[in-house]
Amino acid sequence: MKVLVTGAAGFIGSHIAERLLARGDQVVGLDNFAPNYSRARKAANLAEYGDHPKFEFLEADIRDADRMRTLFGHHQFDRVVHLAAMGNVRYSIEHAQEYAAVNIAGTVNLLEAARLTGTRDFIYASTSSVYGNAEVIPFVETAPAVRPLAPYPATKIACELMAHTYHVAFGMKCTGLRFFNVYGPRGRPDMMPFVFTERIAAGQPIRVFAGGRPQRDWTYIDDIAGGVLAAIDASFDYEIINLGRGQPIGLTRFIEIIEQLVGRKAIIEHAPLPPTEPMITYANVDKAARLLNWVVHAALQGRKVAVVASGKAAVGDGAPSSIRNTDQVSVGLAVGLDFTLPSGGVAVGRDGVQRGAGRDSVEGATTALPGDTAEAPAARGVARRGPRAPCAPRCPG
């Protein structure tokens, strides 16, 4: 199978391309090395697999419609995996035009090039941010996604609508994957896990919203990559599917994991929750489990304590210059999360009040880290789908 992967030098794209090559597929990778973070970091991502004999790389911009048509005319792709995009919700607030040009127009350029050359299967990245302050928690794909909180999710909603249009009008097979708070090796340096780790290690303050009550459904890159490959192979006519861990964790607990990883307490500056930020992201993954056999696995079973030790080595004794290996930090966080999540679900409104939490509340859970005796849920090899907590009449995210 020949697959086009856009954003191939980026965080998620590099993992997808590498996995496709490892299983024997032919991959054409596309990236424009956008200056949102260093070219050197993206080049390092690409170097992980760029010399594979079945890989071809093109430095190009998806906003260049003519070049996209030329690319599709030169190759007969069996699948398009479209991961190139402008990310980062907060940055999008004052850069709406750039986000519209890259995310919406760029996606349409690819859809049109695929249509004109007979490429039928189009898998693309969407985001949990499309749910905004959703009234139904956990977020389910059938819920309306019509009130985004920032330009970034607004552009992703537009991409979902355009994909549906091309499916209806031209018979293209389009699958949108709504990623939930992806983290892990090769992650962008502007992502919260790395920013918080670096600042805590350096003794610099971090800004914490809403008293640390916001919750995020952190999902490890290996699990996301497995879901993407399953969607590639499934070749659905048209689907929108959540890919998330299905168990959010409170910001306060997330910070505690980092504190244990770096051996230093965080200096916290409290701030109100911005209107562009939801109180919670929480994936209902029933559809992913049904259609993709989605199961979240432990990050590194059997090596948890050693990995956390390597994570501590990566951040050193608190000197910011010692943070050389963000991959080790990511794995350390993965292990911490694996040991901290309880078995149940929780719903939290924008007012910060937990609803349906009970004794399995994520925010109030008694947690364990490597070295403790608690067994990680993922180590038991079960899907991460806790009981669905009922909402009050209105408990927006």
Q: Which residues are catalytic?
A: 152
CA distance 59 to 33: 8
Contacts of 47 (CB under 8 A, 6+ apart): none
Residue 276 pairs in a beta bridge with none
Q: Are 127 and 152 in contact (CB under 8 A)?
A: yes
265 near 259, Cβ under 8 Å? yes
User: What does the block give as tokens for 15?
Assistant: 């993992």
Residue 28's nearest CA partner among 56, 54, 8, 48 is: 56
Burial tier of 259 (Cβ tally within 10 Å: 0-12, 13-18, 19+): middle
Query: What's the chain's length in residues?
Result: 397
Phi/psi of residue 303, nearest 5 degrees: -130, 30
